[in-house]
Structure 1
């Protein structure tokens, strides 16, 4: 239980994190699809209730709102950004500042491709970050099913269960599929463990079914599965297993786990802590398993920072062979974490930890069948891994395996340094964007026929912040900023 000091401590921490994400959202410019949603295209799609577009109704409505209201954008991106840091702490029932800073650092250390297509892109944020927010909110409510005490749900939770389940389904497709099965698992697990059904769980599950039906009855998915969609498709030219394996070694292993360098290092460290502490008095057979798992975890955690990033070395000159090697090495790392929990975690946390780890894989599974996939699709499994880390460390503290108070200063330092670096980067972006748009406004006022558009600094942190000449985004960029379509835009190299 939190005492008064702990509540004050976690409240101040949460306010500081909220302030950071509010400032970050203020300094992040609209880019790419944001210009499209912010003009008549967004309202045109709304007028047709997103027919033939997609079933992400809540995500689309959110995007229409926050591209038209700066205040709404700052508040939503600020609050939800902070929530993704703080909710894992609440789910794990901890107010330890060291874990708060660790969660903050892990969120900030997402791969650059994931960051720029979610936290720094309004269109991505409106769908993907909101989807994981609602998943974490649900887990916050049902977390007690993993405890020994019988769960209790207050009247408010029961009243919001149906709409919460329904709304959660209208952001991104793979989250929609996951939510149905996660809700069903919680019902079955609760009944097996407590021999009882709970109204909240049943209503939430009903809401997820209703939301899933609403999403996937959008005519866009008929076009996707028939191959008539120009962007998204379900591969049908090859066998199912062949399709899955191709996605697996080309994209999935990197986006799901290998690109998460800092997350992987922490995953390996906390899992090794579990193996070392819980496996102290293991039998000879388990000691062999433990040492094998420690070896796999260590090798993989160091593979990217040393072999790839420092030595720039590939074990195979053939690209296909090297991709296959890295893909199977990634599978081995993930399986090593699963087996560590399965063999060595105490029964009181085993199911909960396995639930988070398997959820990361399950929510990613539909992406094997849909192309294209991008880094933003994996912000949801990334948060499940963060949740696993935080929950395991809470247990480690309760078991006196580690004194996290000794790690508070270094964890706070690395989180603060990272956040300051982001602050400086986005301050420079904001300053340059303001100057760029002031220049554009002046040129438009003077009826200039040609506008030379400067690129923003640190564009690698943004999702297509400069429109490509001749593209749809150049047209929507002009419309959003009231630049005559006949005006020629030249991108300064």
Structure 2
């Protein structure tokens, strides 16, 4: 009876999350590349099977379909977003812990930087490439999660083999850096099980072979030959012609997006690390005492940096040395975070889990020390691993604090309620405005007008190129998608009147 109640509560939570993300999806306007994929450009690429474009065969095909069929788009985005959060919840073994883990994960995803939200959850093309690939990866991690808690070799069901084969074949066909990561992870999993259980699992070999086949299929596209000559349509390899080039890329591209813009999750992680370290003993050993309190002070300094130093002193508080100093600061921050979790975690399974999550952040970012460009949507994969670190860390702190689940649930669910209401209002405003302006354009086109007016969205920062502004490279695709003749001028009006 108790298990049935727990299952029911978990199902109700999943339904609530699905409804929320479905509402966001319904109100998310198409933008940028979406108009291209949904018009003649997408059909042409599909006919040529994306030859010399890229090897994202699965995600490209999905975007073409979803850009044309709204109900399917809403269903897909609601389902994938729910899986994104619930799969992290599944990493816990108990239903009660799973619901708390899910709530924490949802909070951490909802404090994502606005520019990252706009290029993932708020943009169909970015969503299919970066959120969908993260869910495929989480499915693989969830299946393998049993190894972290097991003391003896584990058995797999036949359905696990089928699912792992499909995941291995399909995940590489979504986005490149995730493709590289899963191939590495598949070999890492084989090595881990060999060391721990002295056993080689057929399911892991199956996934590895399938992922290699998928990777070869992706990279067989002619577009990737152009990476090394800077001719690819979406990126290029940056050659290190001087020793400090990698550091320059890190400070100019990665630090601002993954650390500075993502300040909210790093403040949460720093606060959690202080609480985590407060619960740990030192056995009276002076080196460990120094390490514990020194690390705690550093994480308090990280919070002070975001709360006080940057707001008070501005972006260039050290002049020309600011970018270098911040890059070094966050390199040390990541090393301190990873090192403290490894040193002060008392159980081997927790050390292993935190080490894997830290490796995930590193490997989802490392390719962009030579690949260009690096943007908020690309950083989302690393952000997912930060969410997993924060979720696991919070659960461990709560379990050791002695605080009852009832006392913990109230602040968690209240925070979820506030954040979901904020996003529901903001994205609904954008969706309502988009539906209204499209209807006005369609009505105006019946009279063969010389001009049509469209209104900007009230909060365009939550989406990617949602309005075809003058000079926007996608304005022709916007015309094709909505059937606006070339002879009709498009005039964009601001949503909010200009201040006097």
- Could you tell me the TM-score, scaled by structure 2's length? 0.94
Deviations 1:251-288 (A, max 9, x none): 11222233222211221122223222123535111010
Alignment of 1:392-403 (within 5 A): 392-400=393-401, 403=404
Picking from 231, 254, 257, the partner of 2:256 is: 254
SS at match of 1:309: helix
Residue segments in structure 1 that go unaligned for 5+ positions in a row: none
Work out the CA distance in 2 between the residues paired with 1:6 and 1:314. 52
Picking from 203, 214, 217, the partner of 2:217 is: 214
Match of 1:451 in 2: 452
Match of 1:478 in 2: 479
Work out the CA distance in 1 between the residues paired with 2:309 and 2:402. 31
1:465 corresponds to 2:466:
yes
TM-aligned CA deviation for residue 299 of structure 1? 1.1
Q: Is the 8 A contact 2:173 2:179 kept in 1?
A: yes
Structure 1 residues 334 and 404, CA gap change in structure 2 (3 angstroms): farther
- Could you tell me the TM-score, scaled by structure 1's length? 0.95
Work out the CA distance in 1 between the residues paired with 2:412 and 2:399. 19
Q: Is the 8 A contact 1:92 1:394 kept in 2?
A: no
Work out the CA distance in 1 between the residues paired with 2:62 and 2:310. 39
TM-aligned CA deviation for residue 98 of structure 1? 3.5
Deviations 1:287-330 (A, max 9, x none): 10111111111111332233223553643122xx1011111111
Match of 1:271 in 2: 273
Match of 1:330 in 2: 330
SS at match of 1:67: helix
Alignment of 1:92-111 (within 5 A): 92-95=92-95, 96=97, 97-111=99-113
Identify the range of structure 1 (109-118 vs 327-336) with the bigger mean alpha-carbon deviation. 327-336
Match of 2:168 in 1: 165
Match of 1:6 in 2: 6
Match of 2:341 in 1: 341
Structure 1 residues 390 and 471, CA gap change in structure 2 (3 angstroms): closer
Deviations 1:174-227 (A, max 9, x none): 100000011110111011100111111110111111111111121101012122
Q: Is the 8 A contact 2:342 2:354 kept in 1?
A: no
Work out the CA distance in 2 between the residues paired with 1:365 and 1:354. 16
Residue segments in structure 2 that go unaligned for 5+ positions in a row: 495-500
Work out the CA distance in 1 between the residues paired with 2:173 and 2:318. 43
Work out the CA distance in 1 between the residues paired with 2:62 and 2:36. 14
Q: Is the 8 A contact 1:261 1:305 kept in 2?
A: no
1:225 corresponds to 2:242:
no
TM-aligned CA deviation for residue 364 of structure 1? 1.2
Work out the CA distance in 2 between the residues paired with 1:68 and 1:187. 41
TM-aligned CA deviation for residue 387 of structure 1? 1.2
Alignment of 1:63-78 (within 5 A): 63-78=63-78
SS at match of 2:453: strand
Match of 1:362 in 2: 363
Structure 1 residues 54 and 167, CA gap change in structure 2 (3 angstroms): same
Q: Is the 8 A contact 2:118 2:464 kept in 1?
A: yes
Structure 1 residues 102 and 394, CA gap change in structure 2 (3 angstroms): closer
Work out the CA distance in 1 between the residues paired with 2:183 and 2:129. 18
Work out the CA distance in 1 between the residues paired with 2:482 and 2:414. 40
Identify the range of structure 1 (463-472 vs 18-27) with the bigger mean alpha-carbon deviation. 463-472
Deviations 1:77-98 (A, max 9, x none): 0011111111111023343344
Q: CA RMSD in A?
A: 1.8
1:238 corresponds to 2:224:
no
Q: Is the 8 A contact 1:37 1:64 kept in 2?
A: yes
When the two structures are aligned, how many residues end up with a matched partner? 489
Picking from 127, 132, 135, the partner of 2:134 is: 132
Work out the CA distance in 1 between the residues paired with 2:58 and 2:117. 21
Picking from 143, 154, 178, the partner of 1:175 is: 178
Match of 1:492 in 2: 493
Deviations 1:101-133 (A, max 9, x none): 221111111001110000010000010001100
TM-aligned CA deviation for residue 237 of structure 1? 6.8
Match of 1:439 in 2: 440
Identify the range of structure 1 (340-349 vs 385-394) with the bigger mean alpha-carbon deviation. 385-394
TM-aligned CA deviation for residue 335 of structure 1? 0.9
Match of 1:301 in 2: 303
